[in-house]
Amino acid sequence: MFDLTNKTILVAGGAGYLGSQLCEAILLHNGNICIADINLEKINSLKYSLTQKFPDSKIFSTMLDIKNENSIIESVNKTNEYFENINGLINATYGTTGKALEELTAEEFNNANEINLTGSFLLSRHAITKMKEGGSVIMFASMYGIVSPKPNLYPEGINPNPIEYGAGKAGLIQLTKYLASHYGPKNIRVNAIAPGPFPDIKKNDNYNEEFLDNLRDSTMLKRLGESKEIAGPIIFLLSEASSYVTGQVLKVDGGWTAW
Ligand SMILES: NC(=O)c1ccc[n+]([C@@H]2O[C@H](COP(=O)([O-])OP(=O)(O)OC[C@H]3O[C@@H](n4cnc5c(N)ncnc54)[C@H](O)[C@@H]3O)[C@@H](O)[C@H]2O)c1
């Protein structure tokens, strides 16, 4: 039911913290992957380690800048030429500035949302043209596309999760529902995942402990998400196990948005 044999999944942002876990999970479930990311160094290092771990799997990669429609078209075409079909798309990219509301310029707001919204729209539209046998599209939204960050969680000196990010993720949720409605008759399902707190602690040793405690305390499970905990919901949404699920937002947030 969860098997992905002969399924090709294009993973945009695939070299990132959560994206790389998904690439590995797809290979574990016998699927093929295309790692598509703007960071060539991270693509190469992930491709190398996954090829060592899964020597019999088909792993393709392409450099993608989701802000550039020509780059989207090239990535989609190259993936389709290599595998002769695309069955799934995961979009795990995002744009943000980290800036406080008063300091954010219009240009920065728009730049971030060229990734969160415009790029996400164009990538899905182009990838879906290659899904000849139906498919599954998964957008990475966020709990902050559903609820607003609580100012009291942020110790002095740390800006609340920024407005362009949450506004973009909220838009991405509506984009998901619109695409699900539009492409449903073609047997293409479109869903969003809304993760809660999954900080990449290894990447940043400067995480503020008080802030991390506040994040833990805001979940019902009283802990942070581990990157591997995103894989199960994604495999579910890619596979036949979710064949009647579309237009939904699956919250993977330890209960954050439920109270
Ligand atoms: N980690 C969390 O706590 C969390 C919480 C909620 C939602 N999310 C969402 O999950 C997804 C993955 O997040 P992550 O924590 O793995 O982040 P990450 O920064 O580790 O990964 C994002 C990836 O996107 C790539 N990328 C950035 N700009 C791009 C562009 N223009 N074109 C192509 N690729 C580009 C980056 O190179 C990176 O590999 C994002 O959509 C994020 O908003 C994450």
Task: Indicate whether residue 31 lines ligand 1 (CB < 6 A).
Answer: no
**14-17 contact pairs (CB < 8 A, 24+):** 14/43, 14/46, 14/61, 14/90, 14/92, 15/39, 15/42, 15/43, 15/45, 15/46, 16/42, 16/92, 16/93, 17/198, 17/200, 17/203, 17/227
Task: Indicate whether residue 198 lines ligand 1 (CB < 6 A).
Answer: yes
Chain centre to alpha carbon of residue 67: 15
Task: Indicate whether residue 99 lines ligand 1 (CB < 6 A).
Answer: no
Tell me the CA distances in angstroms from 177 to 80, 180, 188, 192, 249, one per residue in order.
Answer: 25, 5, 12, 9, 9
User: Coil, strand, or helix at residue 37?
Assistant: strand
Tokens 């305390």 — which residue?
A: 217
Question: How far does the centroid of ligand 1 lie from the alpha carbon of residue 12, in Å?
Answer: 9
Strand partners, 132: 134
Determine contact, residues 3/210, Cβ cutoff 8 Å.
no
Alpha carbon dihedral 107, 74, 21, 218, in 10-degree steps, equals 20
Question: How far does the centroid of ligand 1 lie from the alpha carbon of residue 203, in Å?
Answer: 13
- The pair of structure tokens assigned to 259 is 């109270």
pLDDT values of the chain reduced to their tens digit, one per residue, 259 residues: 999 999 999 999 999 999 999 999 999 999 999 999 999 999 999 999 999 999 999 999 999 999 999 999 999 999 999 999 999 999 999 999 999 999 999 999 999 999 999 999 999 999 999 999 999 999 999 999 999 999 999 999 999 999 999 999 999 999 999 999 999 999 999 999 999 999 998 887 678 999 999 999 999 999 999 999 999 999 999 999 999 999 999 999 999 999 9
The one-letter amino acid code at 175 reads: L
Q: Give the neighbor-by-neighbor strand order of the sheet with 188-195.
A: 59-63, 32-37, 8-12, 88-91, 135-140, 188-195, 249-252
User: Coil, strand, or helix at residue 48?
Assistant: helix
Question: How far does the centroid of ligand 1 lie from the alpha carbon of residue 235, in Å?
Answer: 18
Q: To test ligand 1's pocket by mutation, which of 70, 79, 93, 257 has the most ligand atoms within 8 angstroms of CB?
A: 93
Question: How far does the centroid of ligand 1 lie from the alpha carbon of residue 140, in Å?
Answer: 8
The model's pTM is 0.98
The pLDDT, as a whole number, for residue 35 is 98
Task: Indicate whether residue 42 lines ligand 1 (CB < 6 A).
Answer: yes
Q: To test ligand 1's pocket by mutation, which of 37, 66, 110 has the most ligand atoms within 8 angstroms of CB?
A: 37
Question: How far does the centroid of ligand 1 lie from the alpha carbon of residue 137, in Å?
Answer: 16
User: Coil, strand, or helix at residue 33?
Assistant: strand
Task: Indicate whether residue 67 lines ligand 1 (CB < 6 A).
Answer: yes
The pLDDT, as a whole number, for residue 203 is 80
The pLDDT, as a whole number, for residue 204 is 74
Question: What CATH number does domain 8-258 carry, 3.30.450.40, 3.40.50.1820, 3.40.50.10860, 3.40.50.720?
Answer: 3.40.50.720
Tell me the CA distances in angstroms from 137 to 86, 107, 140, 151, one per residue in order.
Answer: 11, 29, 10, 33
Question: How far does the centroid of ligand 1 lie from the alpha carbon of residue 234, in Å?
Answer: 15
The pLDDT, as a whole number, for residue 228 is 95
Indicate the domain borders of the chain: 8-258
Tokens 């990449």 — which residue?
A: 200
The pLDDT, as a whole number, for residue 213 is 97
**Closest Cα partner for 146 from 255, 68, 32, 71?**
255
Task: Indicate whether residue 24 lines ligand 1 (CB < 6 A).
Answer: no
The pLDDT, as a whole number, for residue 229 is 98
Atom of ligand 1 nearest to the CA of 65: 32
Nearest protein Cα to ligand 1, atom 12: 92
Task: Indicate whether residue 195 lines ligand 1 (CB < 6 A).
Answer: yes
Task: Indicate whether residue 15 lines ligand 1 (CB < 6 A).
Answer: yes
